[in-house]
A and B are shown apart, each in its own frame.
Chain A
């Protein structure tokens, strides 16, 4: 199953289908053979062009304009403001805290997701068949929960009054809790008020929902590694730790590269969970995604400024994606 993707892609040998056929197509479709792939691509390209690339360019243009209520209603054309939307960032604390939140969140959540996911992937590989299936079904639940519902669930678990997290923290012996956190009674602890603890909950939420995908991907990769390699390592008396770094990691390096980049892209864009956990009123808890859309849509709308923030995020993601694509094509064409 894991190597469906490495099956030879059709058409590798015949450059343009039918062009060198001894018997030309009987039912003439009226199209020259070379044009067929292009014709097939037209609808897809139209959608991508009109609904992804064109808006992307527009977004970049709007970033240099002022688009407020008057401009949205069409009463006035958008006015060019040059770099104003960007120079406004300099003294804008919310922009810098958003940028910091975005980067810090990814820096913490990505490695945690990858490490936990890989550990579970390796565990799944070593478990018996039935047990492995049991755990896979379990982690699939966490994976399948819609992002909005993920936010809802963790908001409830960390609820100040009736949340189960505060209940569990209250179970800790009083002296221990006091020594460690400086308090013994956790009832009413409002986790979702200040940015620091909001992001802690967000990290837990995203890691919880994100590790199953990593685990299942690593498992798929591990199944492709010849079992003899592990047997040989065992005979040589290698520790599991050594086996992982000497065999598993080097062989699965391409998988890890793709998983890392995907995780970075996803975690930089995290929106739904944060929207549910923090809401739009806590400006200090914004990340770039949140800031871009609230700036653009919250009254009074400032689309130009929102687009400028979105542009910053897009550029960051483009740089990361460039790495991703290089990795993918290294795999594809070799």
Chain B
């Protein structure tokens, strides 16, 4: 074989591998979506039906009208959205303040604080949920979406600060100094100079927190018992254990739950890598 032919063959092999990886990663997702649009005849069969040839919206309509546990999926989507949005609104403010502190200032206790951020991320939610359940009950926040929001802020904040600090640090300090020299006060400098430049990072961080809160199961499972306050991950469980599993409805629901995450994911994917492995990747 000539070197050129060999290189072509090598390239073809690589591309084939790429297609294989693509198929491996997407097929289960495709299977979820396609099941959601198949008729029950095509779902409950031992045959392989690659496409929903009898395309139907019955499952989507059913979960939207009848829903789970007596309530439309809209209710659970709304609850999940309230919790996730509440988490990012509160979380973003706190994260920005703390991130500014660690990225813009050198002070005693900065390194311990950074270490603390990493340590607390390790704490398993399974461990926190027991004492939080007792506290939330005592404070009258049990069965309240607010109680859930508060715990989600806590779960997402450490990573939020960790991620946002790299964005704050990337804004040249000279810009703030210029504003300072022009007579701007501390608050004006922060609001008019730093904030607009950090905004994209803040969006990325918020989206990350949104996804975490949207997906979270443990807190939602044990801090909420009122079915009208369920979030999507909890509501999804209710399709199991009924008489026979309604796979069409499950797949329609999980597809609806997945869509917002996929959209957001595309937006922040690269930022997330830099945030998580920050410091480890040496250019």
Contacts and interface: CB of A to CB of B under 8 A. Distances in A.
A124 B15 CA distance: 10
B240 interface: yes
Nearest to A219: B273
Interface string B32-69: 10010000000111111000000000000000000000
B261 interface: yes
Contacts of B124: 268-269, 289, 310, 313-314, 317
Contact of A153 (B31, B98, B270, B278): B31
B169 interface: yes
B268 to A, nearest CB: 10
B100 to A, nearest CB: 6
B4 to A, nearest CB: 15
B44 A162 contact: yes
Q: How large is the interface on A (under 10, 10 to 19, 20 to 34, 35 or more residues)?
A: 35 or more
B31 A3 contact: no
Interface of B: 11, 14-15, 17-18, 21-26, 28-29, 31-32, 35, 43-48, 93-95, 97-98, 100-107, 110-111, 113-120, 122-135, 137-138, 150-151, 153-154, 157-158, 161, 165-171, 173, 180, 183, 185-187, 214-215, 217-218, 221-222, 232-233, 236-237, 240-241, 245, 247, 250-251, 254, 257-258, 261-262, 265-266, 269-270, 273-274, 276-283
B217 A147 contact: yes
B25 A12 contact: no
B28 A208 contact: yes
B15 to A, nearest CB: 6
Interface string A147-159: 1110011101101
A173 interface: no
A192 to B, nearest CB: 11
A5 B28 contact: no
A296 B283 CA distance: 47
Contacts of B106: 11-12, 14-16
Given A4-B274, A139-B22, A327-B280, A303 B130 contact: yes
Given A37-B107, A134-B22, A159 B247 contact: yes
A242 interface: no
Given A141-B25, A255-B280, A325-B115, A318 B97 contact: no
A141 B26 CA distance: 6
B254 A51 contact: no
A268 B133 CA distance: 22
Contacts of A68: none
Contact of A48 (B158, B247, B266): B158
B166 A5 contact: yes
Contacts of A318: 119, 122
A104 interface: no
A62 B131 contact: yes
A29 B187 contact: yes
Interface in A122-179: 123-124, 126-128, 131-132, 134-135, 137-149, 152-154, 156-157, 159, 161-162, 164, 166-168, 170
Given A44-B98, A292-B127, 20 more contacts: A1-B270, A12-B106, A37-B107, A47-B94, A48-B117, A52-B154, A72-B134, A137-B266, A140-B265, A141-B26, A145-B261, A148-B215, A152-B251, A164-B31, A187-B46, A257-B280, A297-B222, A313-B127, A321-B118, A325-B118
A60 to B, nearest CB: 9
B218 A293 contact: yes
A52 B120 contact: yes
B50 to A, nearest CB: 10
B46 A141 contact: no
A40 B131 CA distance: 28
B281 A3 contact: yes
Contacts of B97: 40-41, 43-44
Contacts of A262: 276
